[in-house]
Amino acid sequence: MCFAYIFMVILLSAAMSTLSSQFHVQGTAIGRDVYETIFRVKGGSTVLIARGAIALAVIIAVILGFILPGNIIAVGTALWFSLTAAAFLSMYVVTLFWKRSTRWGAITGMVTGTLISSFWLFFVFKKSAEALGISQLLFGTPTLISSAPWPAVDPIVIGLPVAAILTIVVSLMTQPPSEEHLEKCFEGT
What pTM, to 2 d.p., does this model score? 0.68
Residue 45, pLDDT above cutoff 90: no
Which string of DSSP letters, residue by residue, matches 148-164?
TTGGGS-HHHHHHHHHH
- pLDDT at residue 50 tops 80: yes
26 neighbors 56 (Cβ within 8 angstroms): no
The end-to-end CA distance of the chain, in Å, is: 53
Predicted confidence at residue 110, as pLDDT, reads: 94
Question: What number is the average pLDDT over the span 34-61?
Answer: 84
Phi-psi region at 25: left, alpha or beta (left = phi > 0; alpha = psi -120 to 50)? alpha
> For the chain, which residues make up each domain, given as ranges?
2-67, 72-185
**Segment 65-74 mean pLDDT:** 81
Measured CA to CA, the distance from residue 62 to residue 76 in angstroms comes to 16
Selection from 20, 12, 17 nearest residue 61 by Cα: 20
Q: According to the model, what pLDDT value does residue 44 have?
A: 65
Beta carbons of 89 and 96 less than 8 angstroms apart: no
CA trace torsion 35, 38, 39, 41 (10° rounding): 60
Per-residue pLDDT for 121 more than 70? yes
Coil vs helix vs strand at 141 = coil
Asked if residue 43 has pLDDT above 80, the reply is no
- The predicted pLDDT at position 39 comes to 80
pLDDT > 70: what percent of the chain? 98
- pLDDT beyond 90 at 19: no
Calpha distance 161→115 (Å, rounded): 13
